A and B are shown apart, each in its own frame.
Chain A
Amino acid sequence: MVYTSRINVLVKKIIQETPLIKRFLLSPINKAALPSFSGGSHITTFIQSSGLNLQRSYSLCGNPSETQLYQIAIKKQAHSNGGSLYWHNEVKEGFKLQISYPKNYFPLSFKAKHHVFFAAGIGITPFIPMMLDLQSNGKSFELHYAAKSKIDCAFYKRINVLFPSNIYFYFSNEGKRMLPEIMQDQLIGTHVYFCGPQSLIKQFTKKAIDYGYPKTSIHFELFSSQPKLDAKPFEVELHKSGQTFYIPKNQSLLKVLLEAGIKVPFSCQVGRCGTCAIEVLSGEIDHQDYFLSDKEKKDQKTILPCVSRCKSSKLILDY
């Protein structure tokens, strides 16, 4: 990580929001207050317990002006890699852990005249502090929120109380679908924000571009990168040291380098922040990130090893 300072916190309270979603209230240990944050921020949680080393990022879903508590909500994933299962099954009130300082890769636009949020399931979390920010500044926004049912809709009551107008729910068990056509007739100055499964983000982003939204008016949040289904193994050579590495199809270049003790700075691990960018001297990059511009991708000079791969058989890195 680039920023290594961590904050010690304990789980003060756990609230069962829905059958699959728990909300965790974290309070500081030996610290008067937690750093304030802006809507859209997330924290990385670090859990080290009986040989387990879990590092997971979650959006902050509480009030940004509240510095005595951070709130995160976690859905118990059916195909969990251990993170959500541990949080749901092992973490109890009083549990101590470390968290990072808040970071924000999903900030509100200062330019927007109107903000339109699209959330699916647990994707609602970053939007709550964002809407609180906007509400306290008298800004215009609307929320479109899809869930399986009212019972599965996290923060349903809280959202209705906090934001009595311009909130639209779409419950699939009632036959309602959240459609990208909502973006079609939005007035100039609108910015759209997506948070949910990657398929939804891709679908809504494509549609927004089709409607003529500039890319700078489209925002989305990713916490996991979609594994590339047709990923191929490749070879990497570090130009300065001459070391070579084999990158298997199911591992990222970043992970291989880190496991080999190569100190590559990194942060988000989903191709959003650009922290891990490395110059490429030769080889054809298969860009999978959301950070580099179209021109930078075309130039083929920089790779984000956390998600991007290689189209040719070998990459030579200026490292």
Chain B
Amino acid sequence: MLDMDHATNKNFTFVTGRRKYLLFTDITGYGEITPILSSLDEQNLLYMVYYFNEFSSNHDLKTYLSQQKMGTYIYASGNWNSIISFVKTAEKAGFTEEELQIKGIGERILRVFCSRCYAINVCKTSKEMVCQSCGQSLSVSNHYSRRYDAYLGYTILN
């Protein structure tokens, strides 16, 4: 799984030098892409805008993304659930952190790896949590494991 923190910016940064831009969004995220739309219009660059729900399935989305050529760049903004699902599909199609930027809106569900018992916990965005498997208090770090698709939870020593 791509490191989403790597592709996440507080505000989108306009990346030049690409041949085609794809913008994916939903109602909550549309405002985030408007500055990018303006830049693309100003520079007369090729782009397409899609709502996430225009694709009937992840399979259709993957098929579409897989047909894109090198030099395609993606901006995606919307609620975190849509973003996480989208990024997984984009990665399967071949996109990397260097070829997309994302902006999640609202609450994000994180997977956290317990460094004590190695269980994967699911939690809402927070700095600290209690491991649901062993009861250990954990500090949620920003160290992301592609293998586990999870952030490392450091044990909090009292």
Chain A interface residues (CB < 8 Å from chain B): 111-114, 183-190, 209-217
Q: Assess whether B113 is interfacial by the CB under 8 Å rule.
A: no
Contact residues in B for A212 (Cβ distance below 8 Å)? 17-20, 70-73
Q: Which residue of B lies closest to A210 (CB)?
A: B17
A–B pairs, 29, beta carbons within 8 Å: A111-B96, A113-B94, A184-B69, A185-B69, A186-B69, A186-B70, A187-B68, A187-B70, A188-B65, A188-B66, A188-B69, A188-B70, A188-B93, A188-B99, A189-B66, A189-B93, A190-B70, A190-B94, A209-B17, A210-B17, A211-B70, A212-B17, A212-B19, A212-B70, A214-B96, A215-B98, A216-B96, A216-B98, A217-B98
The answer on a CB contact under 8 Å between A217 and B19 is no
The 10 closest A-B pairs by CB, nearest first: A189-B94, A212-B71, A214-B98, A113-B94, A188-B94, A212-B18, A188-B68, A212-B19, A211-B71, A186-B70
Contact residues in A for B66 (Cβ distance below 8 Å)? 187-189
Q: Which residue of A lies closest to B73 (CB)?
A: A212
Alpha-carbon separation in the docked complex, A271 to B53 (Å): 48
Chain B interface residues (CB < 8 Å from chain A): 17-20, 65-73, 93-96, 98-99
Contact residues in A for B99 (Cβ distance below 8 Å)? 188, 214
The answer on a CB contact under 8 Å between A189 and B69 is no
The answer on a CB contact under 8 Å between B93 and A211 is no
Q: Which residue of B lies closest to A192 (CB)?
A: B70
Q: Which residue of A lies closest to B16 (CB)?
A: A212
Contact residues in B for A184 (Cβ distance below 8 Å)? 69
Q: Which residue of B lies closest to A190 (CB)?
A: B70
B66, B94, B95 — most chain A CB neighbours (10 Å): B94
Contact residues in A for B71 (Cβ distance below 8 Å)? 211-213
The answer on a CB contact under 8 Å between A211 and B19 is yes
Shortest A140–chain B CB gap in Å is: 11
Shortest B86–chain A CB gap in Å is: 15
Alpha-carbon separation in the docked complex, A112 to B65 (Å): 15
Shortest B95–chain A CB gap in Å is: 6
Contact residues in A for B95 (Cβ distance below 8 Å)? 188-189
Alpha-carbon separation in the docked complex, A184 to B19 (Å): 10
Known: A212-B18, A212-B19. A183 touches B96 (CB 8 A): no
Q: Which residue of B lies closest to A185 (CB)?
A: B69
Contact residues in B for A187 (Cβ distance below 8 Å)? 66-70, 94
Contact residues in B for A189 (Cβ distance below 8 Å)? 66, 93-95
Shortest A209–chain B CB gap in Å is: 7
Shortest B87–chain A CB gap in Å is: 14
Contact residues in B for A113 (Cβ distance below 8 Å)? 94
For the A-B complex with A215-B98, A216-B98 known, give 18 more contacts whose Cβ atoms are closer than 8 Å: A113-B94, A114-B94, A186-B69, A187-B69, A187-B70, A187-B94, A188-B69, A188-B93, A189-B93, A189-B95, A209-B17, A212-B19, A212-B70, A212-B71, A213-B70, A214-B99, A216-B96, A217-B98
Q: Which residue of B lies closest to A212 (CB)?
A: B71
Alpha-carbon separation in the docked complex, A209 to B17 (Å): 8
A112, A188, A190, A214 — most chain B CB neighbours (10 Å): A188
Q: Which residue of A lies closest to B67 (CB)?
A: A187
Shortest B50–chain A CB gap in Å is: 16
Shortest B8–chain A CB gap in Å is: 17
